[in-house]
A and B are shown apart, each in its own frame.
Chain A
């Protein structure tokens, strides 16, 4: 089974089943369920122990726990999925910043465990908060429901995170892309970075749309890459049109980086 990721090619027909593919799906979904159940059951003990030893606030501990959960998922997927991190030196751990990342798949949030920082507050829509086995953890971690919050609540929450040297992550497209291309960006994250006076760090993810495209259930082997682009100083984007200028600049840089990442993927597959 190992090495499937090294020979993966994008396949048009996602409804085709083969024995290796079936085995991959049984393993990955099975392990995901077991890993998630373990995480839920062990959580009270882990929380108590960590509160004693690390003495961090509960929400920060929760985010660290979620990051560990994500790291476990990466390991469990590794027989079928290869993960690669690029340009991680663009992240300065301990320094607050706002991440924006493109959105291709349900598993994009899991892939954020590739980052070298764990104290990330995700700013997401309302629907993940309705997944009951995740919702309580998300609330404890103080993830933001930007759909049901006012702008000022969102900004306040961001500023609190930054004051504690944490980071906030937005998906500026707001939903998963159906064709892999960047969709229109919402300006909320950009406006928050400017208002809070923190650097904005674009992240580009590639390959998760092959692993599990939107609307599909079948997992496929793939190569996933997460690239950190150069941080942008938001202090130069003042004025009423600052968020729009910043948004357009970031989208342009992300589009260029994603094209390069996809070209590399196509050349590797050939």
Chain B
């Protein structure tokens, strides 16, 4: 998958699960302040990403450090590269 395809899959999966407006989903959007997610949503976020990309996410610290949509993009890109 190209980087753009990965980003599109991330954004579309998250938009569907959390009913987000795609117009708000910019790389520097803070997932808590701008997109309205809260700490409990991180479990759902992991489930959605695991389902979309068919990998397992176990790195708790990396997940807890995520603040922006761009952080999610970079995190998933790294996972995709590790698994390829």
Residues of chain A at the chain B interface (Cβ within 8 Å): 125, 146-147, 150-152, 174, 184, 186-188, 191, 240-241, 243-244
Contact = CB atoms under 8 A, between A and B. Distances in A.
Contacts of A186: 40-41, 43-44
Contact of A191 (B39, B47, B54, B60): B47
Contact of A188 (B19, B40, B51): B40
A235 to B, nearest CB: 18
Contacts of B41: 186
B9 to A, nearest CB: 14
Nearest to B50: A240
Contact of B43 (A184, A191, A241): A191
B40 A151 contact: no
A188 B43 contact: yes
Interface of B: 17, 19, 38-44, 46-48, 50-51, 54, 60, 64
A151 B46 CA distance: 10
Given A151-B42, A186-B41, A243 B47 contact: yes
Contacts of B64: 150
Nearest to A125: B40
A244 B40 contact: no
27 contacts: A125-B40, A146-B40, A147-B40, A150-B60, A150-B64, A151-B42, A151-B43, A151-B46, A152-B60, A174-B38, A184-B19, A186-B40, A186-B41, A186-B43, A187-B47, A188-B43, A188-B44, A191-B43, A240-B47, A240-B50, A240-B51, A241-B51, A243-B47, A244-B17, A244-B47, A244-B48, A244-B51
A12 B7 CA distance: 47
A187 B51 contact: no
A243 B50 CA distance: 11
Contacts of A174: 38, 40
Most buried by B among A150, A186, A187, A191: A187
B60 A151 contact: yes
A191 B39 CA distance: 16
Contacts of B48: 244
Contacts of A150: 60, 64
B69 to A, nearest CB: 19
B40 A240 contact: no
Contacts of A187: 43-44, 47
B59 to A, nearest CB: 11
Closest 7 CB pairs of A and B: A240-B51, A188-B43, A240-B50, A241-B51, A187-B44, A186-B40, A150-B60
A187 B49 CA distance: 13
B46 to A, nearest CB: 7
A269 to B, nearest CB: 34
A193 to B, nearest CB: 13
Contacts of B42: 151
Contacts of A184: 19
A185 to B, nearest CB: 9
Contacts of A243: 47
Contacts of A152: 60
